[in-house]
Structure 1
Protein backbone atom coordinates (compact mmCIF):
# COMPACT_ATOMS: atom_id res chain seq x y z
CA UNK A 1 0.00 0.00 0.00
CA UNK A 2 1.18 3.51 -0.86
CA UNK A 3 1.83 5.55 2.31
CA UNK A 4 1.03 8.78 0.44
CA UNK A 5 -2.46 7.60 -0.44
CA UNK A 6 -3.16 6.85 3.22
CA UNK A 7 -2.01 10.33 4.18
CA UNK A 8 -4.25 11.98 1.54
CA UNK A 9 -7.30 9.95 2.53
CA UNK A 10 -6.82 10.83 6.19
CA UNK A 11 -6.04 14.52 5.59
CA UNK A 12 -8.36 17.31 6.94
CA UNK A 13 -9.03 18.54 3.38
CA UNK A 14 -10.47 15.18 2.43
CA UNK A 15 -12.67 15.18 5.49
CA UNK A 16 -13.97 18.68 4.66
CA UNK A 17 -14.81 17.56 1.13
CA UNK A 18 -16.75 14.61 2.42
CA UNK A 19 -18.59 16.81 4.93
CA UNK A 20 -19.43 19.52 2.36
CA UNK A 21 -21.46 17.14 0.21
CA UNK A 22 -24.30 16.67 2.73
CA UNK A 23 -24.30 20.43 3.43
CA UNK A 24 -24.65 21.24 -0.29
CA UNK A 25 -27.47 18.76 -0.58
CA UNK A 26 -29.19 20.30 2.45
CA UNK A 27 -28.78 23.83 0.99
CA UNK A 28 -30.23 22.72 -2.36
CA UNK A 29 -33.18 21.13 -0.61
CA UNK A 30 -33.78 24.29 1.44
CA UNK A 31 -33.72 26.48 -1.73
CA UNK A 32 -36.22 24.21 -3.46
CA UNK A 33 -38.50 24.37 -0.45
CA UNK A 34 -38.27 28.20 -0.35
CA UNK A 35 -39.12 28.50 -4.09
CA UNK A 36 -42.01 26.10 -3.67
CA UNK A 37 -43.21 28.09 -0.67
CA UNK A 38 -43.03 31.41 -2.61
CA UNK A 39 -44.95 29.92 -5.54
CA UNK A 40 -47.58 28.52 -3.21
CA UNK A 41 -47.91 31.89 -1.46
CA UNK A 42 -48.38 33.70 -4.81
CA UNK A 43 -51.09 31.26 -5.83
CA UNK A 44 -52.77 31.77 -2.47
CA UNK A 45 -52.64 35.57 -2.88
CA UNK A 46 -54.17 35.38 -6.36
CA UNK A 47 -56.86 33.05 -5.15
CA UNK A 48 -57.53 35.38 -2.22
CA UNK A 49 -57.97 38.38 -4.54
CA UNK A 50 -60.40 36.48 -6.72
CA UNK A 51 -62.32 35.20 -3.72
CA UNK A 52 -62.42 38.75 -2.31
CA UNK A 53 -64.46 40.00 -5.32
CA UNK A 54 -67.99 38.89 -5.88
CA UNK A 55 -69.30 38.12 -9.35
CA UNK A 56 -71.19 41.42 -9.34
CA UNK A 57 -68.00 43.35 -8.47
CA UNK A 58 -66.01 41.61 -11.21
CA UNK A 59 -68.71 42.49 -13.75
CA UNK A 60 -68.78 46.09 -12.49
CA UNK A 61 -64.99 46.45 -12.79
CA UNK A 62 -65.07 45.00 -16.30
CA UNK A 63 -67.84 47.40 -17.30
CA UNK A 64 -65.90 50.34 -15.85
CA UNK A 65 -62.77 49.41 -17.82
CA UNK A 66 -64.81 49.05 -21.01
CA UNK A 67 -66.46 52.44 -20.43
CA UNK A 68 -63.06 54.13 -19.97
CA UNK A 69 -61.80 52.59 -23.22
CA UNK A 70 -64.93 53.72 -25.11
CA UNK A 71 -64.62 57.28 -23.77
CA UNK A 72 -60.99 57.39 -24.91
CA UNK A 73 -61.89 56.17 -28.40
CA UNK A 74 -64.74 58.71 -28.64
CA UNK A 75 -62.44 61.56 -27.56
CA UNK A 76 -59.85 60.64 -30.19
CA UNK A 77 -62.47 60.39 -32.94
CA UNK A 78 -63.95 63.73 -31.90
CA UNK A 79 -60.54 65.43 -31.99
CA UNK A 80 -59.46 64.06 -35.36
CA UNK A 81 -62.95 64.54 -36.78
CA UNK A 82 -62.76 68.26 -36.00
CA UNK A 83 -59.56 68.74 -37.98
CA UNK A 84 -60.77 70.50 -41.10
CA UNK A 85 -59.10 70.39 -44.51
CA UNK A 86 -62.02 71.88 -46.45
CA UNK A 87 -64.85 74.30 -45.79
CA UNK A 88 -68.60 74.36 -46.25
CA UNK A 89 -68.37 77.57 -48.33
CA UNK A 90 -66.52 76.12 -51.30
CA UNK A 91 -67.05 78.10 -54.49
CA UNK A 92 -68.69 76.50 -57.51
CA UNK A 93 -66.06 76.91 -60.23
CA UNK A 94 -65.66 78.07 -62.93
CA UNK A 95 -66.55 81.65 -62.01
CA UNK A 96 -67.08 84.00 -64.93
CA UNK A 97 -66.48 87.71 -64.62
CA UNK A 98 -66.80 90.55 -67.08
CA UNK A 99 -63.28 90.07 -68.49
CA UNK A 100 -61.92 86.80 -67.08
CA UNK A 101 -63.12 83.32 -66.17
CA UNK A 102 -61.44 81.64 -63.19
CA UNK A 103 -61.33 77.87 -63.54
CA UNK A 104 -60.19 77.01 -60.02
CA UNK A 105 -58.57 78.41 -56.88
CA UNK A 106 -56.80 76.20 -54.37
CA UNK A 107 -56.02 77.77 -51.00
CA UNK A 108 -53.63 76.52 -48.32
CA UNK A 109 -51.08 77.58 -45.70
CA UNK A 110 -47.31 77.33 -45.89
CA UNK A 111 -44.19 78.29 -43.99
CA UNK A 112 -42.47 81.58 -44.72
CA UNK A 113 -39.31 81.17 -46.79
CA UNK A 114 -36.87 83.91 -45.67
CA UNK A 115 -34.86 83.57 -48.88
CA UNK A 116 -37.69 84.02 -51.39
CA UNK A 117 -40.55 85.72 -49.49
CA UNK A 118 -40.02 89.47 -49.34
CA UNK A 119 -42.18 92.03 -47.58
CA UNK A 120 -43.45 89.56 -44.95
CA UNK A 121 -44.62 91.13 -41.70
CA UNK A 122 -42.08 90.76 -38.90
CA UNK A 123 -42.44 87.57 -36.86
CA UNK A 124 -44.85 85.84 -39.26
CA UNK A 125 -44.21 82.09 -39.52
CA UNK A 126 -47.16 80.77 -41.58
CA UNK A 127 -48.92 82.58 -44.42
CA UNK A 128 -52.00 81.83 -46.52
CA UNK A 129 -51.43 81.22 -50.21
CA UNK A 130 -53.43 80.28 -53.29
CA UNK A 131 -53.01 78.69 -56.70
CA UNK A 132 -55.20 80.29 -59.37
CA UNK A 133 -56.11 78.73 -62.70
CA UNK A 134 -57.75 80.61 -65.57
CA UNK A 135 -60.24 78.85 -67.79
CA UNK A 136 -60.37 81.57 -70.41
CA UNK A 137 -59.84 85.29 -70.59
CA UNK A 138 -59.89 88.37 -72.66
CA UNK A 139 -57.77 91.13 -71.19
CA UNK A 140 -58.29 92.03 -67.57
CA UNK A 141 -56.83 92.04 -64.10
CA UNK A 142 -57.49 90.38 -60.77
CA UNK A 143 -56.79 91.82 -57.35
CA UNK A 144 -56.45 89.49 -54.35
CA UNK A 145 -56.93 90.47 -50.72
CA UNK A 146 -56.44 88.37 -47.57
CA UNK A 147 -58.89 88.88 -44.73
CA UNK A 148 -58.69 87.51 -41.19
CA UNK A 149 -61.74 86.15 -39.29
CA UNK A 150 -62.38 89.59 -37.78
CA UNK A 151 -62.77 91.10 -41.25
CA UNK A 152 -59.44 92.96 -41.20
CA UNK A 153 -57.33 93.02 -44.36
CA UNK A 154 -53.94 91.46 -43.63
CA UNK A 155 -50.82 92.41 -45.54
CA UNK A 156 -50.60 93.79 -49.05
CA UNK A 157 -52.95 93.18 -51.95
CA UNK A 158 -51.77 91.24 -55.01
CA UNK A 159 -52.73 92.37 -58.52
CA UNK A 160 -52.31 90.16 -61.60
CA UNK A 161 -52.93 91.00 -65.25
CA UNK A 162 -54.11 88.36 -67.71
CA UNK A 163 -54.54 88.27 -71.45
CA UNK A 164 -55.29 85.54 -73.95
CA UNK A 165 -55.96 82.98 -71.22
CA UNK A 166 -52.58 83.41 -69.48
CA UNK A 167 -51.21 85.48 -66.63
CA UNK A 168 -48.59 87.94 -67.82
CA UNK A 169 -46.23 87.21 -64.91
CA UNK A 170 -46.09 83.42 -65.38
CA UNK A 171 -46.93 83.23 -69.11
CA UNK A 172 -49.23 80.36 -68.16
CA UNK A 173 -52.86 79.91 -67.23
CA UNK A 174 -51.90 79.17 -63.61
CA UNK A 175 -50.00 81.16 -61.00
CA UNK A 176 -49.55 81.30 -57.23
CA UNK A 177 -49.96 84.16 -54.80
CA UNK A 178 -49.35 84.54 -51.07
CA UNK A 179 -50.09 86.98 -48.30
CA UNK A 180 -47.53 89.14 -46.50
CA UNK A 181 -49.11 88.44 -43.12
CA UNK A 182 -50.44 85.40 -41.32
CA UNK A 183 -49.85 83.42 -38.14
CA UNK A 184 -46.97 84.36 -35.88
CA UNK A 185 -47.36 81.30 -33.70
CA UNK A 186 -47.75 77.64 -34.67
CA UNK A 187 -50.33 77.23 -31.89
CA UNK A 188 -52.63 79.69 -33.68
CA UNK A 189 -52.48 77.53 -36.80
CA UNK A 190 -53.23 74.39 -34.77
CA UNK A 191 -56.36 76.11 -33.43
CA UNK A 192 -57.32 77.03 -37.00
CA UNK A 193 -57.21 73.32 -37.91
CA UNK A 194 -60.28 72.72 -35.74
CA UNK A 195 -62.08 75.91 -36.80
CA UNK A 196 -65.55 75.35 -38.23
CA UNK A 197 -66.93 78.88 -38.69
CA UNK A 198 -64.40 81.71 -38.37
CA UNK A 199 -62.17 81.27 -41.42
CA UNK A 200 -59.68 83.52 -43.10
CA UNK A 201 -60.99 84.72 -46.47
CA UNK A 202 -59.53 85.22 -49.91
CA UNK A 203 -61.25 88.14 -51.65
CA UNK A 204 -60.98 88.35 -55.45
CA UNK A 205 -61.80 91.54 -57.35
CA UNK A 206 -61.91 91.93 -61.13
CA UNK A 207 -60.91 94.91 -63.22
CA UNK A 208 -60.02 95.82 -66.77
CA UNK A 209 -56.59 95.53 -68.41
CA UNK A 210 -55.41 98.89 -67.06
CA UNK A 211 -55.14 97.88 -63.42
CA UNK A 212 -53.87 101.28 -62.34
CA UNK A 213 -56.97 103.21 -63.32
CA UNK A 214 -59.69 100.56 -63.30
CA UNK A 215 -62.43 100.16 -60.74
CA UNK A 216 -62.34 96.63 -59.31
CA UNK A 217 -65.60 94.81 -58.74
CA UNK A 218 -66.14 91.92 -56.29
CA UNK A 219 -65.91 88.53 -57.99
CA UNK A 220 -65.19 85.86 -55.34
CA UNK A 221 -65.01 85.77 -51.56
CA UNK A 222 -64.00 82.33 -50.34
CA UNK A 223 -62.66 80.77 -47.11
CA UNK A 224 -58.99 79.80 -46.93
CA UNK A 225 -58.56 76.09 -46.36
CA UNK A 226 -56.77 75.04 -43.15
CA UNK A 227 -54.67 72.48 -45.04
CA UNK A 228 -50.94 73.05 -45.08
CA UNK A 229 -48.24 72.50 -47.67
Structure 2
Protein backbone atom coordinates (compact mmCIF):
# COMPACT_ATOMS: atom_id res chain seq x y z
CA UNK A 1 0.00 0.00 0.00
CA UNK A 2 1.62 3.23 -1.20
CA UNK A 3 1.08 6.19 1.15
CA UNK A 4 2.36 9.76 1.17
CA UNK A 5 2.58 11.06 4.75
CA UNK A 6 2.89 14.73 5.74
CA UNK A 7 3.75 16.22 9.13
CA UNK A 8 3.91 19.99 9.66
CA UNK A 9 2.88 20.06 13.32
CA UNK A 10 6.18 21.12 14.91
CA UNK A 11 9.42 23.03 14.33
CA UNK A 12 10.83 20.25 12.16
CA UNK A 13 8.34 19.05 9.57
CA UNK A 14 8.70 16.16 7.15
CA UNK A 15 7.16 14.22 4.30
CA UNK A 16 7.57 10.50 3.66
CA UNK A 17 6.68 8.05 0.93
CA UNK A 18 6.14 4.42 1.89
CA UNK A 19 5.02 1.20 0.25
CA UNK A 20 3.78 -1.26 2.84
CA UNK A 21 6.65 -1.88 5.25
CA UNK A 22 9.17 -0.18 2.94
CA UNK A 23 10.22 3.46 3.26
CA UNK A 24 10.78 4.79 -0.25
CA UNK A 25 12.01 8.21 0.83
CA UNK A 26 11.70 11.02 3.36
CA UNK A 27 12.49 14.74 3.52
CA UNK A 28 13.05 16.68 6.75
CA UNK A 29 12.25 20.40 6.46
CA UNK A 30 13.82 23.19 8.51
CA UNK A 31 12.63 26.57 9.75
CA UNK A 32 10.87 27.44 6.50
CA UNK A 33 8.82 24.25 6.79
CA UNK A 34 5.59 26.16 6.15
CA UNK A 35 6.82 27.48 2.81
CA UNK A 36 4.22 25.80 0.61
CA UNK A 37 6.58 25.87 -2.38
CA UNK A 38 9.23 23.90 -0.50
CA UNK A 39 6.66 21.47 0.90
CA UNK A 40 5.21 20.71 -2.52
CA UNK A 41 8.70 20.53 -4.05
CA UNK A 42 9.66 17.88 -1.50
CA UNK A 43 6.52 15.91 -2.27
CA UNK A 44 7.18 16.18 -6.00
CA UNK A 45 10.78 14.98 -5.56
CA UNK A 46 9.68 11.97 -3.50
CA UNK A 47 7.15 10.95 -6.12
CA UNK A 48 9.57 11.57 -8.98
CA UNK A 49 12.32 9.49 -7.35
CA UNK A 50 9.87 6.61 -6.96
CA UNK A 51 8.50 7.14 -10.48
CA UNK A 52 5.02 7.58 -9.12
CA UNK A 53 2.22 10.05 -9.74
CA UNK A 54 -0.26 11.09 -7.02
CA UNK A 55 -2.87 8.90 -8.70
CA UNK A 56 -0.57 5.88 -8.25
CA UNK A 57 -0.82 6.19 -4.48
CA UNK A 58 -3.33 4.29 -2.39
CA UNK A 59 -3.80 6.96 0.26
CA UNK A 60 -2.52 10.16 1.82
CA UNK A 61 -1.85 10.68 5.53
CA UNK A 62 -1.26 13.63 7.82
CA UNK A 63 -0.50 14.46 11.46
CA UNK A 64 -3.58 16.30 12.75
CA UNK A 65 -2.08 17.64 15.97
CA UNK A 66 -1.70 18.70 18.59
CA UNK A 67 1.03 21.11 17.65
CA UNK A 68 1.58 24.39 15.84
CA UNK A 69 -1.83 25.79 14.92
CA UNK A 70 -0.58 27.18 11.61
CA UNK A 71 1.54 24.13 10.90
CA UNK A 72 -1.26 21.64 11.46
CA UNK A 73 -3.58 23.64 9.20
CA UNK A 74 -0.99 23.72 6.43
CA UNK A 75 -0.41 19.98 6.57
CA UNK A 76 -4.09 19.09 6.57
CA UNK A 77 -4.89 21.54 3.76
CA UNK A 78 -2.06 20.07 1.69
CA UNK A 79 -3.23 16.50 2.15
CA UNK A 80 -6.86 17.40 1.54
CA UNK A 81 -5.94 19.09 -1.73
CA UNK A 82 -3.79 16.18 -2.91
CA UNK A 83 -6.34 13.54 -1.91
CA UNK A 84 -9.16 15.43 -3.61
CA UNK A 85 -7.18 15.97 -6.81
CA UNK A 86 -6.07 12.34 -6.96
CA UNK A 87 -9.45 10.96 -5.83
CA UNK A 88 -7.74 8.97 -3.06
CA UNK A 89 -8.65 8.46 0.63
CA UNK A 90 -6.84 10.01 3.56
CA UNK A 91 -6.07 9.18 7.18
CA UNK A 92 -5.15 11.39 10.11
CA UNK A 93 -3.21 10.50 13.24
CA UNK A 94 -1.96 12.09 16.46
CA UNK A 95 1.32 13.97 16.12
CA UNK A 96 2.23 12.86 19.67
CA UNK A 97 1.63 9.21 18.79
CA UNK A 98 3.92 9.68 15.79
CA UNK A 99 6.64 11.15 18.01
CA UNK A 100 6.28 8.34 20.54
CA UNK A 101 6.96 5.80 17.79
CA UNK A 102 10.53 7.12 17.59
CA UNK A 103 11.26 4.87 20.60
CA UNK A 104 9.57 1.48 20.14
CA UNK A 105 10.10 -1.35 22.62
CA UNK A 106 12.02 0.87 25.05
CA UNK A 107 10.60 -0.95 28.09
CA UNK A 108 9.14 2.19 29.70
CA UNK A 109 6.05 4.27 29.05
CA UNK A 110 6.92 6.93 26.48
CA UNK A 111 6.00 10.58 27.08
CA UNK A 112 6.20 12.68 23.89
CA UNK A 113 6.16 16.41 24.62
CA UNK A 114 5.74 19.42 22.35
CA UNK A 115 6.31 22.95 23.58
CA UNK A 116 2.82 24.52 23.61
CA UNK A 117 4.10 27.97 24.66
CA UNK A 118 2.41 29.83 27.54
CA UNK A 119 4.41 27.63 29.97
CA UNK A 120 2.48 24.55 28.82
CA UNK A 121 3.22 21.37 26.91
CA UNK A 122 1.26 19.14 24.59
CA UNK A 123 1.76 15.82 26.33
CA UNK A 124 0.94 12.19 25.70
CA UNK A 125 1.75 8.91 27.41
CA UNK A 126 2.11 5.76 25.32
CA UNK A 127 3.12 2.13 25.55
CA UNK A 128 5.02 1.57 22.31
CA UNK A 129 5.58 -1.76 20.59
CA UNK A 130 5.01 -2.08 16.84
CA UNK A 131 2.51 0.75 17.25
CA UNK A 132 1.90 3.39 19.94
CA UNK A 133 -0.86 2.50 22.40
CA UNK A 134 -2.23 5.53 24.30
CA UNK A 135 -2.24 5.15 28.07
CA UNK A 136 -4.17 8.41 28.43
CA UNK A 137 -5.58 11.08 26.16
CA UNK A 138 -3.26 13.67 24.65
CA UNK A 139 -3.54 16.88 26.65
CA UNK A 140 -2.24 20.43 26.98
CA UNK A 141 -1.21 21.45 30.49
CA UNK A 142 1.57 22.87 32.62
CA UNK A 143 4.58 20.54 32.68
CA UNK A 144 4.41 20.45 36.49
CA UNK A 145 0.84 19.12 36.31
CA UNK A 146 1.81 16.42 33.83
CA UNK A 147 4.85 15.34 35.84
CA UNK A 148 2.71 15.03 38.97
CA UNK A 149 0.90 12.12 37.28
CA UNK A 150 4.08 10.14 36.50
CA UNK A 151 4.76 7.44 39.10
CA UNK A 152 7.11 5.06 37.28
CA UNK A 153 10.24 5.26 35.12
CA UNK A 154 9.24 7.03 31.90
CA UNK A 155 11.04 7.94 28.69
CA UNK A 156 10.66 11.59 27.65
CA UNK A 157 11.29 12.89 24.15
CA UNK A 158 10.47 15.82 21.90
CA UNK A 159 11.12 19.55 21.96
CA UNK A 160 9.10 19.89 25.16
CA UNK A 161 11.32 17.35 26.87
CA UNK A 162 14.37 19.30 25.75
CA UNK A 163 13.02 22.62 27.02
CA UNK A 164 11.87 21.26 30.38
CA UNK A 165 14.59 18.66 30.95
CA UNK A 166 15.87 20.31 34.15
CA UNK A 167 12.34 20.46 35.58
CA UNK A 168 11.64 16.84 34.62
CA UNK A 169 14.88 15.67 36.23
CA UNK A 170 14.35 17.72 39.38
CA UNK A 171 10.80 16.42 39.74
CA UNK A 172 11.21 12.76 38.90
CA UNK A 173 14.84 12.03 39.70
CA UNK A 174 15.89 8.60 38.50
CA UNK A 175 12.39 7.92 37.17
CA UNK A 176 13.16 10.29 34.29
CA UNK A 177 14.72 8.81 31.16
CA UNK A 178 15.53 10.81 28.03
CA UNK A 179 15.75 9.62 24.45
CA UNK A 180 18.86 10.49 22.39
CA UNK A 181 18.56 13.77 20.52
CA UNK A 182 17.71 12.23 17.14
CA UNK A 183 14.49 10.83 18.65
CA UNK A 184 13.31 14.32 19.64
CA UNK A 185 12.47 15.10 16.00
CA UNK A 186 9.01 14.00 14.76
CA UNK A 187 9.30 11.88 11.61
CA UNK A 188 6.71 11.46 8.88
CA UNK A 189 8.23 8.00 8.38
CA UNK A 190 6.98 7.06 11.87
CA UNK A 191 3.60 8.53 10.98
CA UNK A 192 3.57 6.34 7.88
CA UNK A 193 3.68 3.24 10.12
CA UNK A 194 0.53 4.42 11.91
CA UNK A 195 -1.10 5.45 8.64
CA UNK A 196 -0.42 2.08 7.03
CA UNK A 197 -2.08 0.28 9.94
CA UNK A 198 -5.14 2.54 9.77
CA UNK A 199 -5.40 2.17 5.99
CA UNK A 200 -5.18 -1.62 6.16
CA UNK A 201 -8.10 -1.56 8.57
CA UNK A 202 -10.02 0.70 6.21
CA UNK A 203 -10.13 3.42 8.85
CA UNK A 204 -9.99 6.34 6.43
CA UNK A 205 -11.20 9.79 7.41
CA UNK A 206 -13.72 11.53 5.15
CA UNK A 207 -12.04 14.70 3.90
CA UNK A 208 -14.76 16.90 5.38
CA UNK A 209 -13.95 15.41 8.81
CA UNK A 210 -10.16 15.61 8.45
CA UNK A 211 -9.67 18.53 10.81
CA UNK A 212 -7.00 19.75 13.25
CA UNK A 213 -6.86 18.48 16.83
CA UNK A 214 -5.74 21.59 18.65
CA UNK A 215 -6.82 20.44 22.16
CA UNK A 216 -6.93 24.06 23.31
CA UNK A 217 -8.67 26.97 21.55
CA UNK A 218 -6.67 29.14 19.17
CA UNK A 219 -5.90 32.80 19.90
CA UNK A 220 -8.68 33.78 17.50
CA UNK A 221 -11.16 31.57 19.34
CA UNK A 222 -10.07 32.95 22.71
CA UNK A 223 -10.48 36.51 21.43
CA UNK A 224 -13.95 35.67 20.11
CA UNK A 225 -14.94 34.13 23.45
CA UNK A 226 -13.81 37.29 25.23
CA UNK A 227 -15.77 39.50 22.81
CA UNK A 228 -18.87 37.36 23.19
CA UNK A 229 -18.57 37.45 26.99
CA UNK A 230 -18.11 41.23 26.91
CA UNK A 231 -21.11 41.67 24.63
CA UNK A 232 -23.31 39.48 26.81
CA UNK A 233 -22.42 41.56 29.88
CA UNK A 234 -23.10 44.84 28.12
Is the TM-score greater than 0.5? no
Q: Shorter-chain-normalised TM-score: which range?
A: under 0.3
State the TM-score, normalized to the length of structure 1. 0.25
> Is the radius of gyration larger for structure 1 or structure 2?
1
State the TM-score, normalized to the length of structure 2. 0.25
Higher relative contact order (CA 8 A, sep 6+): 2
